[in-house]
Amino acid sequence: MELNSDFSQKVTIDTETLDWVPSPMKGVDRRMLDRIGDEVARATSIVRYAPASKFSAHTHTGGEEFIVLEGVFQDEHGDYPAGTYVRNPPTTAHTPGAAEGCVIFVKLWQFDANDRTQFRKTMADELGAPLDGVATAVLHEDTRETVRYQELAPGAKLSLSDAGGIELLVLSGSLTGDGEILTKGSWTRLPDGAAFTATAGTDGAKLWSKTGHLPFAKAPTV
């Protein structure tokens, strides 16, 4: 399966309008944003766990990273409430689920094969002091990518121009830029060489972003 797999093209999706698609695991549904592969796939998705649902134990051959958007994600290593950012690199394993249900934004098979840095962070706790109304937390940075969480005051301007492509998810509030209005749940991906500029709406905005990573996009190697 290929979905939005041409990384030379800009893509913008209002994820909250997408239908939920059942996964192979009962009680776990997905909204697929981009994908190369079938059940083993380089994938970006929003995943919903019904109360008491869980996946079977598995190892992350290609790694996974996710943000908890709603509820509390759980595994044998702990509880991860909304606002948590998690990186589980290749070779890590767990049995994920959610006793009360949850929604996560997750990216699979997008790690450096040699990455072994595993961590969880409460994104808001990592924020630095605001600069021109924009507070930034660098959640992860290496030679392939930079991952950020940012909070914008009303009317604040955001500019991202890193080489290697830009991807962002609006977590709350709104942004206006590039001829579009992005609201909660909006996901956009811009190709290598593109820049993103936007202005926060009257309620400000909170967003997650990743830059620099698109030249490394490829199908999983099993």
188-200 confidence digits (pLDDT tens): 999 999 999 999 9
How far apart CA 63 and CA 92 sit, in angstroms, is 8
Closest CA to 73 of 28, 136, 127, 117: 28
Q: State yes or no: pLDDT of 222 exceeds 70.
A: no
pTM of the model: 0.95
Q: State yes or no: pLDDT of 150 exceeds 80.
A: yes
What is the bridge-based pairing of β-strands 157-160 and 196-211? antiparallel
Domain assignments of the chain as residue spans, ordered by start? 2-9+17-121, 123-216
128-149 confidence digits (pLDDT tens): 999 999 999 999 999 999 999 9
What's the pLDDT band for 218 if we cut at 50, 70, 90? confident
Indicate the CATH number for domain 2-9+17-121.
2.60.120.10
Yes or no: domain 123-216 corresponds to CATH 3.40.50.12780: no
Domains 2-9+17-121 and 123-216 equal at CATH topology level? yes
Average model confidence (pLDDT) across the chain: 94
Predicted local confidence at residue 83, as pLDDT: 98
Q: What angle do CA 85, 198, 170 make, to 5 degrees?
A: 30
**Length in residues, the chain:** 222
Q: State yes or no: pLDDT of 158 exceeds 80.
A: yes
Q: State yes or no: pLDDT of 185 exceeds 70.
A: yes
How far apart CA 23 and CA 108 sit, in angstroms, is 15
Predicted local confidence at residue 116, as pLDDT: 94
How far apart CA 124 and CA 137 sit, in angstroms, is 8
Tokens of 62: 């290609």
Per-residue pLDDT, averaged over 155-179, amounts to 95
